[in-house]
Structure 1
Amino acid sequence: MNTIGYFEIQSSNPKRDIQFYGNVFGWQFIKEEYVPIEYYRIETNSINGGLLQRPASVPAPESGTNAFVCSIQVESFDETSQLILQNGGLVALPKFAIPGRCWQGYFVDLDYNTFGIFEVNAAAN
């Protein structure tokens, strides 16, 4: 628990970037229908992730780091969410179900970095 268990790549052109990462690393991409945006699950030989349609403009090159988003696997989504908020974090995307897999949500830390947390739960709906 409390280790990085999932990563995400935001993309302004998912088809282009799927081809790039597939060609470079041999990753497999599976389109997911349950997410309200264009989303592909990434299967690698170790840690898995996702590639999603970027929900905002691509940051200008001089803006600083434009990075992957990591999600931390936690014992309890609700308890961890409460700790995040009590310590000054903000909700970026509220808790939602990835049916049959987990509860997922996104937060912003004190320096406006986005990160996710997830609780594995086969009953999530």
Structure 2
Amino acid sequence: MNRVVHFEIQAENPERAASFYREVFGWQIDEWLIPKVKIKDENRYWQVTTGSEAEPGINGGLVFRRGPPPAEGQSVNSFICTIEVPDLDEHIDRVIRAGGRVAVPKMPIMGVGWLAYCLDSEKNIFGMMQTDEMAQ
């Protein structure tokens, strides 16, 4: 099988997006710098580390958006990444405090857990899931 091995988050303001994801999920996000090479803004790249290499999951990147952000109410035309969290309500609060918002409120996925979709500081949609086999 072919596995997802990397993701990229597009942002109008990568520094703002990096701050959002650091605050909400505690991710390590560092700009990838090449010594003695001047990189144009649109080609700058931030590496995103989401956890220890010993844990399941993937790491990714953060890049400048190369077009307009999704319009309000526009249907989603992308892959949506869902992040597992230990407490969905707490992480929804973190999203709001960090400048994001809830796109689809918390809902049960029977026998699996609780799911919500949010928008980050750049209006990108992502999911958050709290495992709970008793969810109804």
Give the alignment's TM-score, normalised by structure 2.
0.44
Compare the two structures and name the one with the higher strand fraction: 1
Larger radius of gyration: 2
